[in-house]
Structure 1
């Protein structure tokens, strides 16, 4: 006799819930006995029909589950018309209730696991409450709004249009006679650009300011040809090539920036101020896609355009810039950013309200805040742990690192530009964007 005293009902309910959880776990975890074939169906231990789970401490079908419950609740007494050894199958299980009940007991079904109607109702209420709590918990999780997802989609499309992962245009950059790379006849900045690339110049709304500050964006062939061979640049053999690469990258950065939601709402002067001050930082961010942790080099389309530290030193930069640059690339790579996080970080970097020369800092700050909010929400929703731990803070720290790199780049660019034989190898666009650094 089972005495239902305080806690006994709760214990039985807990046992039933535990039984359900164990059943779910068994369906999720591989069964070593059936590991060779996970599609093997579960069989009812009473009649051999397809089982639906553990019921009253045994694996049974729904039919035998209901039969055992009814028999126990009615305290039924059955008699076998044969020899009490009937073989119970799916087809004949209704023929001999005595042997069927005996088989239920033999495989371990226990009447103690049968709940009363009140207990069944309480169990259902507990299950419903648990589902409601899980639904509430799920509803409280941050979610990307339609507007936030639209912003991400726009930035992804902007990046797709302005970043070529094949680096096919690199074959058209200038090289010196001592370089092993392919020599071109004219600059990629004047030939071979796609229709999408042609949009990388400012539109007519910026025309008046463009003529003054970005007048050299549409370069002519003569101004961008390789330098005369009688100029001695043996110690900076990579300068012409890297100058073309940077100039090409600036155009792509401009094209990306113009598609950032809200960027066109800024005045032409503020757009130019943001681009001139952030261009080299975005180039460094973009280059992380081609950076390899294996050899600490930038691989842009195979070994032909694989840039080592020595290559960049041959363009006039020293280790005071390159050492922290490589450390930055390594640490950024190890964050394993999603492409969505990468493009949002570039947008946040461009829309920095503390750039010199800005007029409407409040508008720039509001645009940057919107992208920052989208980035934080995306990390919470889409970036799984442990990679998301403090990820936003780490990404913002990268922007601070970029400022330091920008300052060092400006310092070294000034030294490079002081010498006419070197400044002659820079493209008009590079001179225009970084020209404010020349005294």
Structure 2
């Protein structure tokens, strides 16, 4: 039998907490009774609503029902988080007597967690560290002592009282008490290893993946460098006894040999430049400008990468090995010590052939050179070279992120050496009996290094007239054409 609870006589009126009458209608009556005898009986027993008042079946006064003050959502199941009712008729009442309807207050927040006092010094604990409840001071003291393998000494009887006042007076007894209360060495080591692992994962080689374009660029630059500059292990070294023991102003025999090798090196540098992606796409005038400005930089960089610190020697491309004194006598003069010092600074970088080739390409393709016709185009060619060197160096040395900027700083040092080298070439012209080899002179005719030397003794008047020719014609006529 279907039964529906009816509100008791006083259930329609309830005293609110502020004295206002709160009315609960709670009846959603359909317009017609449902079919069936049982349902009809239940229907007839439901209260009726007329003009806002509810009529009770049988004798007794009707009672009014005020509408709720606040609107109710159309979808009650969404507000309550419940499924909608199955029946079409629902009566919802709450049997209370005369107690007030007080809305439930929000539950208070949980009390803060309280730890036991520090097991070491009895100060206020900040949590469990390395296995025991401890304060921040004792936690840090224990961690530092274990990580640095500290050895302390007690100046009394090794039984000092440790509390928050005296804990800093005897480090030996404080550390012993840390062990006594249960602090764990392994917990410190595990925490340290975990942090090291996180740092290693962040700087792992996999996080510096190169794009296919950069991989191809690196391959081309590295191949261009290796094919135009054999490594030290590929050379058959040989030495000479010429003026090996004392410095002289100029050893003409060594100068002739050095100038011959320098000419060959310049040809190889031009060949290296022509193999760099995008270089031959520049105008002829810009190609010559870049080669003149950077040729001495690259020449010095290549010589210094063949430095042998044990013998304090430099090895040239044909295997000729000269010591510091012989380099001085071959024409380097006062520039010698500066070049050897730079070579020593390159050793900690441990640059391989790929990094040397990329750094040489960055020296060459540089948009800040004077008299460039299209500096923006040159800068655009340099950008992927910089990115390639940065990622390659970082992938090769994951734990040494500072290597890339240190390599770039060497470009500034190279330019300083090149400027000194150009100044040395001016005085060298007065020391050698004959003319300067043409390709070396071509390289040294760079306005970035020194001004026109037509007024210097031994200068070539023809060259001076060429310098006064139009820029494009002059550079075109002096372009080195190595085969």
* TM-score calculated relative to the size of structure 1: 0.50
Residues 332 and 288 (structure 1), Cα distance of their counterparts in 2 relative to 1, 3 Å cut: same
Conserved in 1, the CA contact under 8 Å of 2:307 and 2:314?
A: yes
Q: Any idea what SS the aligned residue of 1:144 has?
A: coil
Q: Any idea what SS the aligned residue of 2:425 has?
A: helix
Aligned mates of 1:333, 1:180 — CA distance in 2:
27
Match of 2:330 among 303, 312, 315: 315
Match of 2:312 among 283, 289, 296: 296
Aligned mates of 2:302, 2:314 — CA distance in 1:
11
Match of 1:281 among 294, 297, 305: 297
1:55-78, Cα deviation, whole Å (9 max, x unpaired): xxxxxxxxxxxxxxxxxxxxxxxx
Give runs of aligned pairs for residues 39-118 of structure 1, distance below 5 A: none
Give runs of aligned pairs for residues 140-289 of structure 1, distance below 5 A: 141-165=207-231, 166-167=234-235, 179=242, 235-289=251-305
Q: Any idea what SS the aligned residue of 2:366 has?
A: coil
Residues 311 and 138 (structure 1), Cα distance of their counterparts in 2 relative to 1, 3 Å cut: closer
Aligned twin of 2:321? 306
Conserved in 2, the CA contact under 8 Å of 1:293 and 1:330?
A: yes
Aligned twin of 2:139? none
Aligned mates of 2:440, 2:301 — CA distance in 1:
18
Residues 330 and 357 (structure 1), Cα distance of their counterparts in 2 relative to 1, 3 Å cut: same
Conserved in 2, the CA contact under 8 Å of 1:144 and 1:381?
A: no
Aligned twin of 1:429? 439
Residues 415 and 180 (structure 1), Cα distance of their counterparts in 2 relative to 1, 3 Å cut: closer
Conserved in 1, the CA contact under 8 Å of 2:365 and 2:378?
A: yes
Structure of greater relative contact order (alpha carbons < 8 Å, 6+ residues apart): 1
Aligned twin of 1:209? none
Aligned mates of 2:430, 2:332 — CA distance in 1:
14
Conserved in 2, the CA contact under 8 Å of 1:416 and 1:423?
A: no
Residues 158 and 136 (structure 1), Cα distance of their counterparts in 2 relative to 1, 3 Å cut: closer
1:90-136, Cα deviation, whole Å (9 max, x unpaired): xxxxxxxxxxxxxxxxxxxxxxxxxxxxxxxxxxxxxxxxxxxx999
Conserved in 1, the CA contact under 8 Å of 2:394 and 2:401?
A: no
How many angstroms does 1:333 deviate by? 1.8
Aligned mates of 2:201, 2:371 — CA distance in 1:
50
Aligned mates of 1:139, 1:418 — CA distance in 2:
54
Instruction: Report the count of equivalent residues.
Output: 244
Aligned mates of 2:308, 2:205 — CA distance in 1:
40
Q: Any idea what SS the aligned residue of 2:378 has?
A: helix
Aligned twin of 2:409? 397
Conserved in 2, the CA contact under 8 Å of 1:276 and 1:434?
A: yes
Aligned mates of 2:202, 2:398 — CA distance in 1:
21
Q: Any idea what SS the aligned residue of 2:330 has?
A: coil
Q: Any idea what SS the aligned residue of 2:208 has?
A: coil
Aligned mates of 1:254, 1:301 — CA distance in 2:
15
Aligned mates of 1:235, 1:256 — CA distance in 2:
31
Conserved in 2, the CA contact under 8 Å of 1:292 and 1:298?
A: yes
Give runs of aligned pairs for residues 103-142 of structure 1, distance below 5 A: 141-142=207-208
Aligned twin of 1:123? none
**Which structure 1 segments of 5+ residues have no match?**
1-133, 182-232
Alignment RMSD, CA only? 3.2
How many angstroms does 1:140 deviate by? 8.2
- Name the structure with the higher helix share: 1
**Which structure 2 segments of 5+ residues have no match?**
1-199, 455-483
How many angstroms does 1:137 deviate by? 9.7
Residues 137 and 343 (structure 1), Cα distance of their counterparts in 2 relative to 1, 3 Å cut: closer
How many angstroms does 1:358 deviate by? 1.5
How many angstroms does 1:377 deviate by? 1.4
Give runs of aligned pairs for residues 402-421 of structure 1, distance below 5 A: 402-418=414-430, 421=432
Q: Any idea what SS the aligned residue of 2:314 has?
A: strand
Aligned twin of 1:328? 342
Aligned mates of 1:384, 1:403 — CA distance in 2:
29
Greater gyration radius:
2
Conserved in 1, the CA contact under 8 Å of 2:229 and 2:317?
A: no
Conserved in 2, the CA contact under 8 Å of 1:162 and 1:252?
A: yes
